[in-house]
Homo-oligomer: A and B are copies of this chain.
Amino acid sequence: MAKITAHDLAKKQKEISVAAFFERNKHILGFGNQTRALITSVKEGVDNALDACEEADILPDIYVEIKNHEDGECRLIVEDNGPGIVRNQIPHIFGRLLYGSRFHAILQSRGQQGIGISAVVLYGQLTTGKHAKISSKIEEDRPAVVAELVIDTNKNRAEVIGRDTVHWDKPQGTRVEISIMADYKRGKKYVYEYLQSTSIVNPHAQITYREPDGTEHIFERTSEVLPRKPVEIKPHPYGVELGTLIKMAKYTKARQLNSFLKSEFSSMGDRTTNAAIEKAGLEKTLNPKNMTRDEFFSLHKAFKKVKIMAPSTDCLSPIGETLIKRSLKHKTKEISPEFIITASRPPSVYSGQPFQIEAGLVYGGNLPKEETVKILRFANRVPLLYQQGGCIITQAISSIDWRRYGLTQTSGKGIPSGPAIFLAHISSTLIPFTSESKEAIADVSEIENEIKLAFRECARKVQHHIHKEVKRVKTREKFDLITKILPEIAKKSAHMLDKPVPALDAIITKIMDVVWIEDLIEYEKIERHPVQTTLIGETSEEQQGGTITKSRIMVVNYKRNPQKFNLYAIIPEDAVVGEVNPKPSKVTNNFIKWNLDTIPPANKIDVTFELAGLEKGDFDENDLYTENINPAYVIGADKWEGD
């Protein structure tokens, strides 16, 4: 046998086009089987549509249609009312992998790779041999452009097969039609689930979904307000890699080190900049383009020795506790769980990228007790449906010992079993997905820690809730005994002894010896303003129609002495406070505070407040706290620990 040499091998060395790479490795993009291919395609289409609308400050109106042909071919249509795409960008956006607007920006968005929608085009042509058809209209008084294209995978460039201008009845928007091989039968329920979950955490979007048999589902818009628009930020010195620093210096327009740092990084004011340069032993007049690797190395090290303000978190747009609760409620609406708990962590940073974790937990009710808990995962408001096992969210949950919270778990590790559903949402300027299919989050320790903290907080709240419940039930028994049975005994005894029935108030108070707080929540449907048509380019006013949530709190003093204390009621951040009685002493985003009048023994005070901007059930349990009273005396509220 002839010896094989380096020259022989060199002949086989070739460049691989990124399109050819993914054509061969389509499973990496989420097209590993035909069920998943369907869901991935819908997801990429919808993500793209939502991002486009939000980027242009438009309330999204999305239309999704699937046509299912007999031979396993599906035609997917996704249409939006976004800004459209200019003619010469269409071939790039749909016909090239690794092309996009959001890759280079540090801000939260769904798409961040420049792969998603062109991957669907690639998969479509690979499996059906058909062209993708893109329609785009960018101005109301101009016609729409329709282009048919394929991707030349050897070059990773689009080949435009046909282009036309047509009339389109829409002021503006984009419509994508792609034929793909897909398993509609199996994928059906996942597509529905994905759209439903998406709609819940994106209440500002209207999503219409037409199934192959013509059934139309409308996931209504329930909020006329776009989420706060994430603001693009600059890299933060704490997370920047040495290599990135060197590269930034190579391309900067700044001529001096100090202006380079101030202009290209976030949180770098004069003082911090000078401190960093001094710690690094460098001159601030140094030209960044002429610095050596060792100088960069010193600077990079110095960053960590200087106190630098955390990056601004305007770039993030979390879901919020109300929507998380609503999402969980939706998942369990036929189950009537015992309670739903949420936790929201403050923003944090990994590798210079801000991120924030929110978590939720449903417990009890008719949830199956024998099965492993269900885990709902979201990233930048996008539901993640696959790769649960490979996701850091699952790993973080599995590393907590849930046994003392009423769940079962082999040796305190692994996904617990029991009547619970977990939800986690990560928002970040760069979600560290394990692959281009964006289905699982990589094991970044900072993120893992925050997820653990969020769920530990949930767990504590669960325990607290159970504890409170037990205490309340016990006192309720005592209360019933005293207020119902005692008078009966008194009456009977008085009758037998032929004496008048004694006044029991003082005795009851003596035996109870607590301040008793009870509450009730009611919802009132109010006339809603007629739904406005889609607002383009202007911010709508807060809509306060819909449902009014009314909370009534009864505070009874069963102590022997008059009581005077402060009461706090926690309210959801996104609720709008209406009428409050008695007059509160303070109202913030998070709570209402009352300095209650003195309550004489055996007397009561009624406290009420109204909340708007919520749906029925969003707020279904009061979270009450007291101040200036021994918490041991109080049933129905906890000690206020400060806000």
Contacts and interface: CB of A to CB of B under 8 A. Distances in A.
A440 B390 contact: yes
Interface stretch (A128-136, A200-208, A281-289, A332-340): A128-136
Interface stretch (A2-10, A419-427, A460-468, A544-552): A2-10
Given A10-B88, A21-B114, A25-B433, 15 more contacts: A6-B85, A6-B172, A9-B101, A15-B96, A16-B98, A16-B99, A16-B113, A18-B98, A32-B432, A127-B242, A128-B242, A370-B410, A408-B410, A434-B437, A435-B436
Given A414-B372, A435-B436, A14 B296 contact: no
Contact of A370 (B5, B14, B411): B411
A331 B177 CA distance: 53
A36 B12 CA distance: 31
A387 B65 CA distance: 35
A547 to B, nearest CB: 30
Given A100-B13, A241-B126, A410-B408, A7 B86 contact: yes
A485 interface: no
A301 to B, nearest CB: 8
A14 to B, nearest CB: 6
23 contacts: A1-B537, A1-B538, A3-B536, A6-B86, A8-B83, A10-B86, A10-B88, A13-B93, A16-B99, A16-B103, A16-B113, A16-B114, A21-B113, A24-B103, A126-B243, A126-B244, A129-B245, A129-B297, A371-B411, A387-B434, A410-B410, A434-B434, A434-B435
A7 B5 CA distance: 54
A471 interface: no
B4 A242 contact: no
Given A4-B55, A21-B113, A103-B14, A434 B127 contact: no
A445 interface: yes
A390 B296 CA distance: 38
B435 A28 contact: yes
Contacts of A14: 99-101, 103-104
Contact of A84 (B6, B20, B36): B6
Given A126-B241, A414-B415, A6 B83 contact: yes
Contacts of A13: 89, 92-93, 99-101
Given A5-B83, A83-B9, A444-B33, A432 B103 contact: no
Contacts of A415: 414
Contacts of A435: 28, 434-436
Interface residues of A, number: 106
Contact of A444 (B3, B27, B86, B410): B27
Given A21-B113, A33-B445, A246 B129 contact: yes
- 5 closest pairs, A vs B, by CB? A390-B390, A389-B389, A435-B435, A126-B243, A27-B442
Contact of A125 (B102, B113, B243, B433): B243
Nearest to A448: B33
A233 interface: no
Contact of A32 (B3, B10, B444): B444
Contacts of A93: 13
A12 B98 contact: no
Interface of A: 1, 3-10, 12-18, 20-21, 23-25, 27-28, 32-33, 36, 52, 55-57, 71, 83-86, 88-89, 92-93, 96, 98-105, 113-114, 125-130, 136, 138-139, 153, 172, 241-247, 293, 296-297, 301, 370-372, 386-391, 394-395, 408, 410-411, 413-415, 417, 430, 432-437, 440, 442-445, 536-539
Given A432-B32, A436-B28, A101 B6 contact: no
Contacts of A89: 6, 10, 13
Given A6-B136, A56-B9, A128-B243, A32 B410 contact: no
A171 to B, nearest CB: 12
A70 to B, nearest CB: 12
A418 to B, nearest CB: 10
Contacts of A537: 1, 3-4
B86 A127 contact: no
Nearest to A150: B243
Contact of A4 (B56, B103, B105): B56
A249 to B, nearest CB: 11
A138 B6 contact: yes
B16 A129 contact: no
Contacts of A27: 432-434, 442, 444
Contacts of A56: 3-5, 9
**Residue from A27, A93, A247 whose CB has the most chain B CB atoms within 10 Å:** A27
Contacts of A129: 242-243, 245-246, 293, 296-297
A272 B445 CA distance: 56
B389 A105 contact: no
B443 A32 contact: yes
Given A24-B103, A153-B247, A442-B32, A130 B293 contact: yes
Nearest to A246: B129
Contacts of A394: 389
